[in-house]
Amino acid sequence: MHFIVELANKKHYFILSFIVTLTSTILPMQQTPSRNLFEQLPLELKNIIIKKAIAHEQGIYSQQHYQQVFRISGICHDFNKIIKTSCAEHLNASLMDQQEIENFLKAPKHVHARVRSMEIDTYRKLLYAKQFIDLIDGCPNTKSLKITTLDDPNFLPILYQPILSNNALGAIAKLGKQLINFEINANIIDDSTLIHILTNCRCIKTLKIKSTRITPKGLVAICHLIKNLTSLDIVQDLEMENDVIFEHIFACCPHINTLRLKNAGIRYIPKLRQSLTHLELCSSNIDDTRLQEILSSCPNLQSLSLIGCHHITSAGFSSITQNSFITELCINDCTGLDDHMLSTVLSTGRIKKLVLVNCPNFTPVGFLNILKCHDLTEFCINNCTNFDDTTLDIALSAGHIEKLELTKNPNLTDTSFISIARTGTHLVELTVIDNNNITNPALCHILAACPRLQKLHVDLARSITLDENLIRHLATHNSLCSLHFEQHGRDYHHVFRCPEIQRSFKRQQQTTTTVFSPITTTQPSQKK
């Protein structure tokens, strides 16, 4: 039995996520992967955890304290009570079955009127056309809409066709000028349907098209309708082999500042608008010459992402120094790039966000250039085989990193995570994925030394065990508001952050000196 509630606190601008898996996690304790968690805790603490989990399962805690955003999944005894009393502004129908959707549709109109954004998966829960249309009609104030249908039309084709059609999708047009952000991932939608929708919804500023049947001519027609468009995201095969299509797009939508193109069959990109600030190219065939033309024609470019662009080499970045505003760079699986690119790009000293994924040609010598990034606040390193403890220590000392993601880097040892505690005092978000070297003492060390840490995500770190010592560090951390251990398949945050447990920990803290791990990180200023 699953009950998922995602809560947004607008006042403080952070998201709290609560995931409870009651029947498979807490009740059959002898079968749970974290068996030692409950065996080692005092009986009083066990009872509090179970009581708190049941409260979450019934939706009591979420309804009393946070009501801005909610997500429902599976069977919930108090679901009717939740939707009738909710003032949620986001509805994720992708996590609701048919009966839950029907219950929502029967809720008072003021509940529907509060909804400002929706996510709808039209197949996963067998959402039929009538329910889809009723959801659109019932939430007339929706400003953001994300539609996802079955990616593979050959899967259960008999059931697929009756569930949703272009006629049903056409109901989106009823939202009219209310709709501002629109994302469509539907392999049944064609030019005529999308044109019909956007003819009525001309105030759209953000448009994402994925896996549709849209043609280049249809795309041009769409851009003629939504001239206030500021962000265009195309994730599908479109044979745009020349600059004619882009000339039409930018002529119709002069305010576009964000352009993302993936698998669009692009071989040539014209001189882009000076207003462009964010550009992402994925699986593109552009070469060094085209990249230099892009960089020279976009003097206001702030963010550049290149993913799977295998025809680009380090020489293509020779003109990047002319772009005085580039502060975010993402390089993912571009096999032609080496240390020279890092030296050229990072020498500007303006990079604030750096994402490096699947970059086997980068060596420790190239990573030394990170020292030039004094304003670095966000750093992601994913599957870079030459990235080790020393280079991580360099990256941490370069700027004031607030967001750090370490994924699939086998050369990082437990020493690396100790260095995070030493130099990562500004850390707000930490993600560690697929690393078996991080241990409980290192994680406790980080929690004790990073008082600003709000989000912690640990995935496939098999050396981490949720023992009592780690739980006490997590529960008594003042700013931690989101915690996720993917290897256990659930989020323990609702357990750690409840006031009853924190009070219990504080009482035990006063009576024993062995509450925390042997690692001591107390500083003189903290004692004072």
Q: What is the DSSP string of 58-85?
A: TTHHHHHH--SEE---S--TTHHHHHHH
Overall average pLDDT of the 300-326 stretch: 86
Which tokens in the block code for residue 387?
């990235």
Which helix (H) or strand (E) segment holds residue 16: the answer is strand 14-21
Sign, Cα dihedral of 354, 359, 365, 366? negative
What is the secondary structure of 189-247 as a DSSP string? --HHHHHHHHHH-TT--EEEEES----HHHHHHHHHH-TT--EEEEES-----SSHHHH
**pLDDT for res 334:** 93
* Rounded Cα distance, 127 and 92, in Å: 13
Pick the CATH number of 377-509 from 3.40.50.920, 3.40.50.1220, 3.80.10.10, 3.10.180.10: 3.80.10.10
Reported as a single tens digit per residue, the pLDDT across 344-370 is 999 888 999 999 999 999 999 999 999
Residue 349, sorted as left (phi over 0), alpha (psi -120 to 50) or beta, turns out to be left
Overall average pLDDT of the 440-452 stretch: 90
Which tokens in the block code for residue 302?
């702030």
Extents of the domains making up the chain: 1-86, 377-509
Reported as a single tens digit per residue, the pLDDT across 165-177 is 777 888 899 999 9
Read off φ and ψ for residue 71, nearest 5 degrees: -130, 135
- Which of the two residues, 382 and 1, has the higher pLDDT score? 382
Distance of CA 467 to the CA centre of its chain: 28
What are 206's strand-pairing partners? 181, 231
Average model confidence (pLDDT) across the chain? 73
